[in-house]
Structures are given as structure tokens and as C-alpha cells.
């Protein structure tokens, strides 16, 4: 299997220069000092965009992913430092020395994702991801969807997909890898899924300059599902939607993608939708048939980190076990 290559697509140029121009220049003592400096300085580096559209010097907002990878095991509670020292000489760090500490990360993609989510959870839209499918004409389709957390199913469930890495303990149980979203049965991706169930999700974290490309089977759970765990999960997700989101699923009059017609807004039509998806007593109405729980059951993840020193890791699920290795970015 040839791995997907895309170091060319998004780059953090400054660090490549570092990597290439200062090999093996620092002692381990110097390194420790520099690690401390970096955690302050890396957030303020300049980031040169080549695009004709975005050339403004701006601040990155996170500490180095690489440092996160290597240090979070020993200092899990260390806070992010959001310095503004744009001229801090972080370019003097020896990438090579750093890498010697972790040529392979001790953390799976799932643990890394947990950290990325924790760092960005207060940012509006940080859980918006791009989901790609293939349609019946074998063409790619991709759209933004909302990631709605991971679903934990019983250990003996066919969809049980957990990640045990070195951080898994009794207190920190393995993390579920089953990604939860929802969709509408009228959506094109439902039609795509019937043809090709493999999907790929691209999750770009702007704050930390990290990308996860998560690949697996896309599973749709509707009203006719007979699996108890999935039926419960579908109902829970329905109940957790916002009132207006529920309304949108209950609005079966306005088929998405059909030509706009002002007469759609006749009050007579609108009245049929239970306000907020609730009954007269304020209780959430049952989910309509077109409301689908959408699960991505991953078997592969390509993780790329462009803040700090570039880092890339490929995680693969084989025989129910995740394993991972560091690869060239």
C-alpha cells in the first residue's frame, strides 16, 4: 500500500529551513532550554503564506505539536503559552535532536485528537469537518459536517473500535474511535453511501495547524435499525440537537436542493412543524424517518502537524488493534 503524500500541500516553511540548515548543532542541555523557549515562542512565529490572497503576518495560537507529542506524557497538565515574541530565535532549535526523543510517538491518533479537541473546544466551528464520499458516477463529493463526539458501544459490539495506547490505564480507559455525526436521508451522501461505504474525513485544526485524515466505513442508522445500542444512540443524538436543528429535520416540505420558491413560506405549511421539535408539553417528539445517525468507523488515520516541527504519523487498524508509526511529512 502506498501512503497518501501531501507534504507539498500545506507547509510551515520556517521549520523546514530549520530542519535543513541546523542539523545536530545543539547539546541536550541547550535543547532543554530551547524547549522551554519554544513553548513560549512558537505561538508567535510568522507564518508565510504564498497565496496571493493571504500574505499577512499573523500569530499562531498553539504550542508545538511535536512538543505536545513528546512532552504530554510527562507533563499532561502543562498549559499552552500564547506569547507574542514573534522574533524569538526558535529557528535555532535543532530538529534532529528533538526528533531523537520520539522517532515514533507513544500516542495513537485518537489520543492526539483528544488533545487537539481539548485545545480548540472553545472555538466556534472547531468541530466542523469535511467528509468525502464517492457518488454513483465515481466522482468525489465533499462537504462540511458537524462532528458530534465519539460513540462508546459495548466491548462485544460489532462496531466496538477502541484505541489502547500507553496512556490507557484503569483511570484512563481506551478511547472509542467511532465518530458520531448525523445526516438527513434526503442528503446526497446517503445515496453515495449505498454505492461506496468507505468515506474519508478531513479535520483541519487552524489553531494548532494539525490535520487528521480519518478513513473508514460510513454507517447510517435510521428508524428501522434493530441494534439496540445504535437505536439508543440515534435517539440520544436527536434529543441533544438544538430545537431549530430538530425543526429542520421535521420540515419535510422544503426539500433541500430544490428550486427556491417564496410560496414555501406559507404559514399553513410551517404550522405543521412542531416548534423546536417538541410537543405541547415541551417534550422532544420522536425522530422522523429522515433523521439518521451517521457513524464513521475508522481503520486508518493520517495525522499531520505543521506547527512547531513538522510531524506526521500513520495509524492503521489491523485485527482489531491500532498500530502507528512516524513517517516523513
CA distance 175 to 111: 8
The residue (of 21 and 75) whose beta carbon lies closer to a copy of itself is: 21
Please state the closest distance from residue 270 (CB atom) to a copy of itself, in A: 5
CA-based end-to-end distance of the chain: 17
The residue (of 225 and 247) whose beta carbon lies closer to a copy of itself is: 247
Please state the closest distance from residue 301 (CB atom) to a copy of itself, in A: 13
CA distance 178 to 151: 5
Strand 140-146 relative to strand 128-134, pairing = antiparallel
> Coil, helix or strand for 168?
coil
Q: Which of 201, 190, 186 is nearest to 248 (CA)?
A: 186
> Residue 262: is it exposed, middle or buried by C-beta count within 10 angstroms (0-12/13-18/19+)?
exposed
The residue (of 75 and 266) whose beta carbon lies closer to a copy of itself is: 266
Query: Which phi and psi angles does 250 have, rounded to 5°?
Result: -80, -15
The residue (of 17 and 78) whose beta carbon lies closer to a copy of itself is: 17
DSSP conformational letter for 245: H
Please state the closest distance from residue 32 (CB atom) to a copy of itself, in A: 19
The residue (of 14 and 81) whose beta carbon lies closer to a copy of itself is: 14
Please state the closest distance from residue 121 (CB atom) to a copy of itself, in A: 5
Strand 321-327 relative to strand 311-318, pairing = antiparallel
The residue (of 215 and 234) whose beta carbon lies closer to a copy of itself is: 215
Please state the closest distance from residue 180 (CB atom) to a copy of itself, in A: 9
C-alpha cell at 20: 535543513
Please state the closest distance from residue 293 (CB atom) to a copy of itself, in A: 12
Amino acid at each position: 500500500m502506498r501512503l497518501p503524500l501531501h507534504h507539498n500541500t500545506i507547509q510551515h516553511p520556517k521549520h523546514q529551513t530549520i530542519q535543513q540548515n541546523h542539523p545536530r548543532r545543539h547539546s541536550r542541555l541547550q535543547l532543554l532550554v530551547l524547549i522551554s523557549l519554544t513553548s513560549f515562542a512558537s505561538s508567535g512565529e510568522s507564518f508565510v503564506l504564498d497565496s496571493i490572497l493571504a500574505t499577512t503576518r499573523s500569530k499562531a495560537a498553539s504550542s508545538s505539536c511535536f512538543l505536545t507529542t513528546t512532552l504530554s506524557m510527562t507533563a499532561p497538565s502543562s498549559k499552552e503559552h500564547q506569547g507574542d515574541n514573534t522574533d524569538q530565535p526558535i529557528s535555532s532549535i535543532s530538529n534532529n535532536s528533538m526528533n531523537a526523543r520520539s522517532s515514533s510517538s507513544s500516542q495513537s491518533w485518537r489520543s492526539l485528537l483528544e488533545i487537539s479537541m481539548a485545545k480548540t473546544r472553545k472555538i466556534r466551528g472547531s468541530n466542523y469537518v469535511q467528509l468525502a464520499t464517492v457518488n454513483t458516477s465515481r466522482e468525489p463529493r465533499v462537504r462540511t459536517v458537524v462532528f458530534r463526539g465519539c460513540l462508546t458501544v459495548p466491548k462485544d459490539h460489532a462496531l466496538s473500535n477502541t484505541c489502547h495506547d500507553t496512556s490507557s490505564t484503569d483511570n484512563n480507559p481506551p478511547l472509542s474511535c467511532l465518530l458520531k455525526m448525523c445526516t438527513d436521508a434526503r442528503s446526497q451522501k446517503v445515496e453515495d453511501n449505498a454505492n461506496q461505504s468507505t468515506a474519508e474525513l478531513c479535520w483541519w485544526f487552524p489553531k494548532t495547524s494539525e490535520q487528521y485524515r480519518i478513513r473508514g466505513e460510513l454507517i447510517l442508522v435510521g428508524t428501522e435499525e434493530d441494534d439496540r445500542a445504535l437505536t439508543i444512540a440515534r435517539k440520544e443524538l436527536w434529543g441533544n440537537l438544538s430545537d431549530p436543528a430538530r425543526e429542520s429535520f421535521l420540515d419535510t416540505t422544503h426539500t433541500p436542493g430544490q428550486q427556491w420558491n417564496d410560496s414555501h413560506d406559507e404559514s399553513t405549511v410551517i404550522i405543521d412543524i412542531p416548534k423546536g421539535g417538541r410537543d405541547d408539553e415541551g417534550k422532544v417528539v420522536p425522530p422522523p424517518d429522515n433523521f439518521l445517525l451517521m457513524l464513521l468507523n475508522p481503520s486508518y488515520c493520517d495525522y499531520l502537524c505543521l506547527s512547531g516541527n513538522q510531524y506526521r504519523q500513520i495509524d492503521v487498524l489491523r485485527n482489531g488493534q491500532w498500530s502507528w508509526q512516524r513517517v516523513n511529512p
